[in-house]
Chains A and B, each alone.
Chain A
Amino acid sequence: MSRIEARFKTLSAANRAALIPYIMTGDPSPDETVAVMHGLVAGGADMIELGMPFSDPVADGSIIQAAGERALAAGQRLKHSLAAVRAFRETDQDTPVIFMGYLNPVEIMGTEAFVQSAAEAGVDGLLLVDSPPEESAELAPAVREAGMDMIFLVAPTTSEVRRRRIAELGSGFVYYVSLKGVTGAGGLDVDAVAESLAGLRQHTQLPLGVGFGIRDADSAAAVGRVADAVIVGSALVEHLHAAAGQGEEPARAARQFIEPLREALDGARSGGNAKDVALS
């Protein structure tokens, strides 16, 4: 059982939704990434998504794009992101870590070399936003063979046929993009998300995570009532950047950002509002 699968099993048994923060590796500073990861766990994160900075992040909005540019300017590269996970694993063997980014750095490192290094470093899942299932026929099996999960996105524009195919090919969890747009966009419609998730559950036993558009405790709680995992990215990245600008310690800022979300998320489930959701 992969670390991601195990974590979801534990959470499901406790009727809790997973809280998955996303940070850009190397921002606000390459030296702080590992400390920020530990801070997120201390604040209540169940898994961590690590953004791999890329020069041309077409699926990201301005906040994550800017964070990526800062990270690259500070020298952060794929090999350093792998090293960060290795360092994190020295004291945390339980929290799943998911790499999120773009295909080109992986291809240039060499798919085989990357998969091997990632597995050895302690990466648990891979999500490449510009590598849809149709183009992942070689990568996905290689990732799974190495004991990691290949996570795919489902969007509001994804057809029924493809939703089924994605559910079959992916593992770990299905990442539902809650709105049309790039990361950090507004306009989250929780009812529409709930309806889509209900449809998705007919195709898959995998846990369903929801990302894009979750900014604070309220939106996390709303989504946490209907999803198995809540992913928060741009709002956290922005918070860490602003905190660093004011000289705050990044790990502490990370923890303080996560704590209220954790509380709201757990409150939403225990408040009895989970009845309209089939949490299989």
Chain B
Amino acid sequence: MSAKAKNLSELPPNGYRQLPDARGHFGIFGGSFVSETLMGPVEELRQAYESARQDPAFQREIARELGHFVGRPTPLYPADRLSEWAGGARIWLKREDLCHTGAHKVNNTVGQAILARRMGKPRVIAETGAGQHGVASATVAARLGLECVVYMGAEDMRRQEANVFRMRLLGAKVVPVESGSRTLKDALNEAMRDWVANVDDTFYIIGTVAGPHPYPMMVRDFQSVIGEEAREQMQADAGVLPDAVVACVGGGSNAIGIFHPFLDDDQVALHGVEAAGDGVETGRHAAPLSAGRPGVLHGNRTYLMTDEDGLIIHTHSISAGLDYPGVGPEHAWLKDVGRAEYGHVTDREALDAFHRLSRTEGIMPALESAHAVAHAIKLARRLGKGKHVLVNLSGRGDKDMHTVAAEEGVSL
């Protein structure tokens, strides 16, 4: 309680949307914890982004790409058969699954790739777990004629063969990472090493709201289009703001994207959903906000899955996109000040929601997004009729066919 009260007293007077501070801190979280070689490039990026975000031409170009290339605005969809089945509040889906490449990730890669070109960097690099951010990066790099290298854990490459092939078809080079657990965090480590060695001509496109300042702020800004659209659409279609907004949280980019425009709407409850894997009590999960503690990894201070010796713990989730030991620093701050609540959903519950949404609405969610749907069903029941729950349906489930089939003993 005292820690919470202390952080509350640090609340900016103008509401929740004023952070980070000039050095990228959200309360005690965020910052720039990178090796000295990267401090210069990170500062160069901060200045370039600061000038770009105030430049109408930059904003116009992003808006044009989001409209014509990504396919925005994405629809707001009332999931009435699902709502009826759940028997409670009305559930609305923000259809990020309908974005080009099948997930919200491209909102961010469009912004960063345009910035890379503006900074005169001909080469972009990215890390990827399931391959969604890698595909989104490769896609935009192809669109803008940039060289693209994607780092991917060798284990993830084996699990996501189709996405590896997709990236290669788009002209990207996919580099397998054999160190550590050979998954997302190791791919991130390797991408940072590449950046250190090639800072002069290379732009690092981080896929989530983590990393050193300005990444958590910049990625949030690019993803906030989700919440801005949804906030207007809810008022237009439902006539009210939602009572609750629900999104899954791995690194947390789709969640912060839909949360941020609602932060100062006190009547709107915000619910982040972490991956509980086999269950938080088993230790086999990926829920740092629920069961981790503050530490420093990948350039920022945030909640982490770390052991008593300060080593990062291996995570587990059926959803590769949530299988990450850290979380964006703004979420860590929102948790501590109490503005957002963070719950968790197991693999099993997410799979059930995957099936339920597929059969009631004809919409097959990504396993990441299925975590949000599972939580929204519980919440809708708790809130009851006459209330509105907005869910960020962050991606489509096509990429998860093999995972779901394997889980159910079906061979494709």
Interface residues of A, Cβ cutoff 8 Å to B: 54-59, 61-62, 65-66, 69, 72, 77-79, 102-109, 129-132, 134-135, 152-159, 162, 177, 180-182, 185
Contact yes or no, B40 A155, CB < 8 A: yes
Q: Which residue of A lies closest to B313 (CB)?
A: A55
Q: Are B298's CB and A56's CB within 8 A?
A: yes
Closest chain B residue, CB of each to CB of A132: B39
Using Cβ atoms and an 8 Å threshold, which residues of chain A touch B295?
A: 104, 107-108
- Note all chain B residues with C-beta closer than 8 A to A162: 39-40
> Among residues 178 to 197 in chain B, which have CB atoms less than 8 Å away from a CB atom of chain A?
179-180, 185-186, 188-189, 192-193, 196-197
Q: Tell me if A129 and B312 are in contact (CB < 8 A).
A: no
Contact of A132 among B36, B185, B294 (CB under 8 A): B36
Instruction: Indicate if the CB atoms of A157 and B40 lie closer than 8 Å.
Output: yes
Given contacts A56-B185, A132-B36, A157-B41, 17 further A-B contacts (CB under 8 A): A54-B311, A58-B193, A58-B298, A59-B193, A77-B309, A103-B296, A104-B304, A105-B309, A106-B310, A107-B310, A108-B310, A129-B35, A134-B32, A155-B39, A157-B199, A177-B36, A181-B197
Are the C-beta atoms of A104 and B310 separated by less than 8 Å? yes
Q: Are B306 and A59 in contact (CB under 8 A)?
A: no
**A109–B310 touching, CB < 8 Å:** yes
Question: Could you tell me the distance in whole angstroms from the C-beta of A33 to the nearest C-beta in chain B?
Answer: 17
Chain B residues within 8 Å of A, Cβ to Cβ:
23, 31-41, 43, 179-180, 185-186, 188-189, 192-193, 196-200, 293-299, 304, 306-312
Query: In the complex, how many angstroms separate the beta carbon of A152 from the nearest chain B beta carbon?
Result: 7
Once bound together, how far apart are the Cα atoms of A65 and B190, in whole Å?
Answer: 11
Q: Is the CB of A155 within 8 A of B310?
A: no
Please name 22 pairs of A and B residues whose Cβ atoms are closer than 8 Å in the assembled complex, sorted by A: A54-B310, A58-B34, A58-B35, A77-B309, A77-B311, A78-B310, A104-B295, A105-B311, A106-B310, A107-B296, A108-B307, A108-B310, A109-B309, A131-B33, A131-B296, A132-B36, A134-B39, A135-B31, A135-B33, A155-B40, A158-B40, A162-B40
Beyond A104-B306, A153-B36, A180-B197, whether A55 also contacts B296 by CB under 8 A is no
The interface residues of chain B lying within 8 Å CB-to-CB of A153 are 35-37
Query: Considering the chains assembled together, what is the distance between the CA atoms of A153 and B304 in angstroms?
Result: 26
Contacts of A62 in B (CB 8 A): 179
Please determine whether B309 and A108 come into contact, CB atoms closer than 8 angstroms.
yes
A182 to B37, CA, bound (A): 9
Please give me the residue from chain A that is nearest to B295 by CB atom.
A104
A55 proximity list for chain B (CB < 8 A): 180, 311-312
- Known A55-B180, A135-B33, A153-B36; judge A130-B309 contact (CB<8 A): no
B39, B180, B185, B297: most-surrounded residue (chain A CB, <10 A) = B39
Q: Say whether, besides A55-B312, A56-B189, A59-B196, A155 and B298 are in contact (CB < 8 Å).
A: no
B39 contacts which chain A residues (CB < 8 A)? 132, 134, 155, 157-158, 162
Task: Kindly provide the distance from the CB of A70 to the nearest chain B CB, expressed in whole angstroms.
Answer: 12
Among A65, A66, A78, A181, point to the contact of B309 (Cβ < 8 A). A78
Whether A154 contacts B31 by the Cβ 8 Å rule is no
Across the interface, do A104 and B37 meet the contact criterion of CB distance under 8 Å? no
Contacting residues, chain B, for A77 (C-beta < 8 A): 309, 311
Chain A residues contacting B179 (CB-CB under 8 Å) are: 62, 65-66, 69
Q: How far is the CA of A105 from the CA of B309 in the complex (A)?
A: 6
Chain A's nearest CB lies how many Å from the CB of B28?
11
Query: Is B197 within 8 A of A185, CB to CB?
Result: yes
Give the complex CA separation of A49 and B244 in angstroms: 53
Residues of A within 8 A of B23 (CB): 134
Residues of B within 8 A of A107 (CB): 294-296, 310
Docked Cα-Cα span, A185 to B193, in Å, equals 11
User: Nearest B residue to A108 by beta-carbon distance?
Assistant: B310
A180 and B196 CA atoms in complex are apart in Å by 6
Q: With a CB–CB cut-off of 8 A, which chain A residues contact B38?
A: 157
Q: Nearest Cβ in chain A — how far from B175, in angstroms? A: 13
Q: Known: A69-B179, A104-B297, A135-B31. Is A155-B37 also a contact (CB below 8 A)? A: yes
A55 to B180, CA, bound (A): 7
The list of the 7 closest CB pairs from A to B, nearest first, reads A105-B310, A157-B40, A108-B310, A153-B36, A59-B35, A181-B197, A155-B37
A79-B309, A157-B40, A158-B40 are contacts. A130–B34 as well, Cβ < 8 Å? yes
Asked whether, in the complex, the Cβ of A108 is within 8 Å of the Cβ of B308, the reply is: yes
* Bound CA span A104–B180, Å: 17
- Which among A65, A72, A158, A177 is the interface contact of B311 at CB below 8 angstroms? A72
Q: Looking across the interface, which residue of chain B has its beta carbon closest to that of A65? A: B179
Please tell me if the beta carbons of B32 and A58 are within 8 angstroms of each other in the complex: no
Q: Smallest distance from the beta carbon of B119 to chain A beta carbons, Å?
A: 15
Q: Is the CB of A69 within 8 A of B180?
A: yes
Question: Which chain A residues border B196 with CB–CB below 8 Å?
Answer: 59, 180-182
Separation in Å of the B213 CB from the closest CB of chain A?
A: 10
> How long is the Cα–Cα vector from A157 to B383 in the complex, in angstroms?
54
- In Å, the complex CA distance between A278 and B36 comes to 25
Known: A58-B298, A72-B311, A104-B296. A157 touches B33 (CB 8 A): no
- Give Cα A54 to B304, complex, Å: 14
Q: How far is the CB of A172 from chain B (nearest CB, A)?
A: 16
Q: Which of B23, B32, B200 has its CB near the most chain A CB atoms (within 10 A)? A: B32
Cα–Cα, bound, A102→B295 (Å): 11
Whole-angstrom CA separation of A106 from B185 in the bound complex: 20
| A134 contact set on B, CB distance < 8 A | 23, 31-32, 39
Quote the shortest CB–CB distance from B332 to chain A (angstroms): 14
**In the bound complex, how far is the Cα of B312 from the Cα of A69, in angstroms?**
12
Residues of A within 8 A of B32 (CB): 132, 134-135
Q: Are B43 and A159 in contact (CB under 8 A)?
A: yes
> Which of B34, B185, B188, B299: most chain A CB closer than 10 A?
B34
B312's partner among A79, A104, A130, A180 (CB-CB below 8 A) is A104
Question: Quick one: closest B residue to A166, CB to CB?
Answer: B36
Q: Which of A103, A152, A154 contacts B33 (CB 8 A)?
A: A103
**Do the beta carbons of B309 and A180 come within 8 Å of each other?**
no
Chain A residues with Cβ below 8 Å from B31 are 134-135
